Amino acid sequence: MERIGVIGGGLMGSGIAEVVARAGLDTIVIEVSDEAAKVAEERIHGSLERALTRGKIDEAELAAVTGRITVATDLEALADRDLVVEAASEREDVKLELFRRVGAILEKDEAILASNTSSIPIVKLGAVAGRADRVMGVHFFNPAPVMQLVELIPSLTTSPETLGRMQAFVSEKLGKQPIEATDRAGFVVNSLLVPYLLSAIRMYEAGYASAADIDKGMVLGCGHPMGPLALSDLIGLDTIRAIGVSMYEEFKEPLYSPPPLLDRMVDAGLLGKKSGHGFYAY
């Protein structure tokens, strides 16, 4: 797999595109508008500039990686791709429509269509794509250029060959560490992480302590690198809510249900770091 497409140039999509391009692969990022495409280009270049400043890459590699990335707005540009990773909004209706359209666009029978979803059933995406055996979840973590883990999620209809190709691609080509998870909402990491984050939000909502003290307690008391409310801001409060809703719909466990404060913050546009304000101001 040498020609890669990424749908979505947000925090996750741009990070995935950078990882793929740094692995030496031809990369196309699809965004919804020219304005969004420009923002995606700036986001990718900014990340590469930070890598340069930290000595992770040199000027020559920065130029080479930038040259491998094209940002476009037409899904038809994905037609010749060997692998397309969808990293669009965590909304089931949006993802289903994208998989329906891209499944019809891909020219190569062996091309794989993957989703970076955190919680939406992979089997549903495969059912609308017209290539159910070549659809699976490939869940990166933020920031993708730094985080080593990638969850691989085959559905009931994903072929063993597709899973094997993705295991080799992630470990050998991208240099990441894959783990395999079943096609259940939340997979491995979010099934453990999201209830913890929602519990911290409920604690803050109930007035147990300030956001800063809750986070300080978990950093200094449990050795976590980041507190749960700061981490929620980093992930995006809309994403946290969407994952919680999806997990609650599947399992009906109260601990997965988003608390009212989270609903209100998302409705108010207080989404965390990406909007400039969440539990903290940025």
Catalytic residues: 118, 139, 151, 190
Q: What's the rounded Cα separation, in Å, for the pair 44 and 50?
A: 10
CA distances from 57 to 21, 26, 61, 147 (A): 13, 18, 6, 17
CA distances from 102 to 7, 96, 106, 118, 208 (A): 10, 10, 6, 20, 47
Q: What's the rounded Cα separation, in Å, for the pair 21 and 4?
A: 9
